[in-house]
Chain A
Amino acid sequence: MERVVVSMQDPDQGVKTRSQRLFITVIPHTAAGGDVVAWLIRKYCISEEEALHLGTLLVQHGYLYSLREPRSLVLRPDDTPYRFQTPYFWTSTVWPAAELDYAIYLTKKNIRKQGALVGHEKEHYDQLHRKINHTWDLVVMQAREQLRAAKQRRKGDRLVIACQEQTYWLVNRPPPGVPSVLEQGPERSSCTAGGVQMTKNTEFYKQEMERCRKALTRARVKSSVCLEAYLKFSSQRGPHDPMMSGCLPSNPWVTDDDSYWTFNAPSVAVPTKLRVERWAFSFQELLEDPVGRGHFMDFLGTEFSAENLSFWEACEGLRHGEQAQVRAAVDAIYQQFLAPGAARWVNIDSRTMERTLEGLRQPHRYVLDEAQLHIYMLMKKDSYPRFLKSAAYRDLLAEAVVPPEAKRRVFPFMRKPPHANPSPALLPASHSGEPVTAASGPECGDGGT
């Protein structure tokens, strides 16, 4: 912020300033609110709305203050005069707004004009009076001294200093109801924490160097290749991104009509065309969609390799399952898929099988990773491409539905109230622990209208 303010005050390129008549005194170096906004627009190539917003933030943080109504921390884009706060009072100048200084400020106000203290200021004044009662004489003395010194200044200077001080305290002791712009959130310590000392000791640097050494030997891909991949990804996914291409029948948030979610429910009977197309983007995309996965499982059944997908699913369950169940899960998987003569034996190459069996002596949740990866790659390189070329998939594409675009509602009062939809937490979980969301097929639609 300070960078902005400093460049604003640049005599050649900054905001135009002039002397302003205020009542009978002349104040130098004032800038009209409108000029400040115009300057921001020009310098940063932003819209008026943004310039106004930025300008207001500068005022709220106390870098600019209005001469006419210093209490209102807003930037007015007209000829209201503003001045730049002196750096002495900047919020970043390590200047803890001390209680003592606040007390002196309030006392000065009180002395200068009885009853000038506003509501919350009066409260603070009383509070401070009680708190630092023992040094109150010092406070009063300081206040009197400052007032006396001020009297010796020119009226213009006095006014300016008073405004500066007032702005400073408005920012550092905001009235109730006004959020303080200085609030930062919980402290972020850079080094020490609780019991763990994170001082940069030899261990830390050794680890960093080890990481660097490893990173140096890493295989990297040319930027051009990586960046081209983003272009490809974005253009492929563009039509599937509701924010880029809209969605049919309509975006529920815009029209209050949630039929989009009905058409795209996780376990809908007939998936939409876009959805079926997505299954061809990547194997991961197909597996992540319960409907897609189901069809793929059916397809594998026709090829007598459904056990591969089941094995993969079981391994996923192991990897993401409860710690206490790990042993049991590993045993179950072994019995069903890996043991000689198992009911649903999966075909893994001998080396991987050997290593897996070796690892099974000390089962842990990642013990089947290698076998799982082998089967995953098998499906990805072999079964998946065949699925995409199969009649089954072609039929799915042909039968897929394209929801009709919802007609724009003309009369607001005819809009249906958005109807409630049961929370996933209300439904019984399925056996496999997979996420079960509300089945919202058309026949399930509740009330509405």
Chain B
Amino acid sequence: MATDGLHENQTLASLKSEAESLKGKLEEERAKLHDVELHQVAERVEALGQFVMKTRRTLKGHGNKVLCMDWCKDKRRIVSSSQDGKVIVWDSFTTNKEHAVTMPCTWVMACAYAPSGCAIACGGLDNKCSVYPLTFDKNENMAAKKKSVAMHTNYLSACSFTNSDMQILTASGDGTCALWDVESGQLLQSFHGHGADVLCLDLAPSETGNTFVSGGCDKKAMVWDMRSGQCVQAFETHESDINSVRYYPSGDAFASGSDDATCRLYDLRADREVAVYSKDSIIFGASSVDFSLSGRLLFAGYNDYTINVWDVLKGSRVSILFGHENRVSTLRVSPDGTAFCSGSWDHTLRVWA
């Protein structure tokens, strides 16, 4: 009935405003304990010296935009995926290609290396996450042993193995994240709460290893308890889609990169944003972020083809790296911190050190 519809709309509107006022109260509470800014505390810290990093390896072989990459625990192998459906495993030290798989879909936006180094996972517009065991047997077709693990109702934007080869965490354009058992494909836990596509996730390096953070098109970064499926913390200070999230090495904070051309640092114990990394001359979105091993440097790849290196503590930009000829779409520091690898829409990957 018309009156019922009207009533529902009013309730919706009043709920929305109630939610907004609660959020406002939360921000007030968070501000109460904010007694100092990061750059003030960091004044005591020595400034960083001249920063020289160059491309040490260029990996050519993808026929189209590189969308995602991940390092193997052996510190030299990487897996990368691209728009044309190709997923390639490289020994980036020698630049040799070791495996190649062609996915049945285009825009493979997520890929991950298993902790054991014996398998890779990938997915994209096929709405699935598939796991391929890596085999060197010439007679075996890698695609034959493929396991379809995750099923979402929209594109897969990110995936990551947890501490073992047997569980995978996925993020999707359908607004949810999910934890899966690789062997059976069973859904172990799902995470609802984002109001729009989830674009990225990262697992916490904590001792009790139970949380992860995700970022989405709703401008929110949310921290989840893997066991209960509940969101334990949420942050909403970005002004546009969050493309990438990464934990600070101690696990007490995480950084995010967004289409609003800023990267931000959120502290989990203080429960607030504690730093913004931005510059007037940077007007393109940040697609991908990662920390150096000590957490002093934050590397961020942008849609203006550059990589900016930030001093995490002082909040200033240390360096800008040119080289890619199109958007930088993905960036990861190697497991032992000796280098980082960036993938770009210019079809190449570069390892910098």
Q: How far is the CA of A247 from the CA of B337 in the complex (A)?
A: 10
Within 8 A of A (CB), among B22-45: 22-23, 25-26, 29-30, 33-38, 41-42, 44-45
- Taken residue by residue from 297 to 329, chain B's Cβ proximity to chain A (1 for < 8 Å, 0 otherwise) reads as 100000011100000110000001010001000
Contact B77 A251 (CB under 8 A): no
A323 & B186 in contact (Cβ 8 Å cutoff): yes
CB neighbours (8 Å) of A24 from chain B are: none
A47 partner residues in chain B, CB cutoff 8 A = 320
CA distance A190 to B259 in the complex (A): 14
Map CB proximity to B onto A178-215 as digits: 1 under 8 Å, 0 otherwise: 01000101101111011110101110111111011101
Determine if B96 is an interface residue (Cβ-Cβ < 8 Å).
yes
Assess the B181–A323 pair: CB atoms within 8 A: yes
CB 8 Å contact bits of A221-260 with B (1 = contact, 0 = none):
1111111111101110110111110010001111000101
With CB as the reference atom, state the residue of chain B lying closest to A317: B164
Q: How many pairs of residues, A versus B, come closer than 8 Å at their CB atoms?
A: 310
The reply to whether B296 and A244 contact each other, CB–CB distance below 8 Å, is yes
The answer to whether A229 and B36 touch (CB under 8 A), given A186-B109, A212-B22, A424-B73, is no
Check A241–B296 contact: CB distance below 8 A: yes
Task: Say yes or no: is A316 at the interface (Cβ < 8 Å to chain B).
Answer: yes
* With known contacts A196-B175, A216-B26, A424-B73, A436–B116 Cβ distance under 8 A: yes
Residues on A lying within 8 angstroms of B by beta carbon are: 1, 3-4, 40, 43-47, 49-50, 53-54, 57, 179, 183, 185-186, 188-191, 193-196, 198, 200-202, 204-209, 211-213, 215-216, 218, 220-231, 233-235, 237-238, 240-244, 247, 251-254, 258, 260-261, 264, 282-284, 316, 319-324, 366, 369, 373, 376, 418-421, 423-426, 429, 433-438
Contacts of A188 in B (CB 8 A): 173, 196-197, 199, 217, 241
Say which residue of B30, B281, B292 sits within 8 Å of A241 (CB atoms): B292
Mostly, the A contact residues are helix
By the criterion CB–CB under 8 Å, are A211 and B167 in contact?
no
> Which of B18, B186, B279 is within 8 Å of A205, CB to CB?
B18
Cβ of B345 within 8 Å of any chain A Cβ, yes or no, is yes
Contact B12 A193 (CB under 8 A): no
Residue of A nearest to B116 (CB): A435
A189 touches B42 (CB 8 A): no
- A229 to B41 CA separation, bound complex (whole angstroms): 10
Asked if B42 and A231 make an inter-chain contact with CB atoms under 8 angstroms apart, the answer reads yes
A423 with B91: CB separation less than 8 A: yes
Interface size on B, residues (CB 8 A): 124
Q: Which of these, A1, A241, A261, A419, contacts B293 with CB under 8 Å?
A: A241
Q: State the CA gap A126–B94 with chains docked (Å).
A: 48
Instruction: Report the Cα distance A413→B50, complex, angstroms.
Output: 29
Q: Which residues of B contact A419 (CB under 8 A)?
A: 94
Question: Does B339 sit within 8 A of A, measured CB to CB?
Answer: yes
- Residues on A with C-beta less than 8 A from B38 are 227, 230
A323 to B166, CA, bound (A): 8
17 A-B pairs within 8 Å (CB atoms) are namely A53-B306, A189-B154, A205-B18, A209-B15, A209-B18, A215-B234, A218-B271, A230-B312, A234-B45, A242-B338, A251-B338, A261-B75, A261-B76, A320-B162, A324-B181, A423-B91, A424-B74
Q: Does B60 contact A (CB under 8 A)?
A: no
Q: Which residues of B contact A205 (CB under 8 A)?
A: 12, 15-16, 18-19
| A241 engages B337 (CB within 8 Å) | yes
In the complex the two chains form, is A241's CB within 8 Å of B294's CB?
yes
Within the assembled complex, what's the spacing in Å between the Cα atoms of A235 and B15?
A: 47
Known contacts A216-B29, A237-B293, A241-B293; A221/B270 CB under 8 A? yes
Chain B residues near A261 (CB-CB < 8 A) = 75-76, 336
Q: How far is the CA of A419 from the CA of B96 in the complex (A)?
A: 11
Cα–Cα, bound, A175→B225 (Å)? 50
Distance (whole angstroms) from the CB of A408 to the closest CB of chain B = 15
Chain B residue nearest to A181 in the complex (CB): B326
Q: Give the distance to chain B from A205, nearest Cβ to Cβ, in Å.
A: 4
Complex CA distance for A66 and B338, rounded to whole angstroms = 43
Instruction: Kindly state the separation between the CA atoms of A321 and B188 in the bound complex, as whole angstroms.
Output: 12
Q: For B207, give its contact among A189, A215, A283 (CB under 8 Å).
A: A283
CB closest residue in chain A, given B135: A425
Interface flag for B100 (CB, 8 Å): no
Contact check, B186 vs A421: say whether CB atoms are below 8 A apart.
Answer: no
If A429-B118, A437-B73 touch, whether A242 touches B295 (CB-CB below 8 Å) is no
Does B141 interact with chain A (Cβ within 8 Å)? Answer: no
User: How far does the Cβ of B34 sit from chain A's closest Cβ, in whole Å?
Assistant: 5
